[in-house]
Amino acid sequence: MLEPFIEQKSRQLIYYLSRFLRGRLPHRELHLFVWDTLEEWSQFRVRSWRPETLREQVFWHLLYQIEYWSEPELKQNLRLRRELQYCLSFLHGYGQLPCYCVGVRP
């Protein structure tokens, strides 16, 4: 039941974050996606903080990064943007797990 949720939300995250990074989605929409996702996740009542898969680990890492960094940082920090792109590549299925990726469940 959790795996389909992570799969669906990963596809949506790829869409939203990619569009934001290309300047085609307002930061507010990205922020709303994150909070809607967290609200849906809370319905599962999961007790473990450990992700079941590397994909889930990257997914949670990206959600944290989106909320941690300010809009200007997300738009202008080239190193951060590159790291986000690496994570998106992994979620897309054609990248390696970034070594700095530390994602845990909320």
Domain regions of the chain by residue span: 2-92
SS3 letters for 32-85?
A: HHHHHHHHHHHCCCCCCCCCCCHHHHHHHHHHHHHHHCCHHHHHHCHHHHHHHH
Is residue 68 a contact partner of residue 104, using CB atoms and an 8 Å limit? no
**pTM of the full structure:** 0.94
99 band by pLDDT with thresholds 50, 70 and 90: confident
Residue 96 pLDDT more than 90? Answer: no
**14-54 confidence digits (pLDDT tens):** 999 999 999 999 999 999 999 999 999 999 988 888 999 99
pLDDT band at 74 (very low <50, low <70, confident <90, very high): very high
Rounded to whole angstroms, the Cα distance separating 6 from 2 reads 6
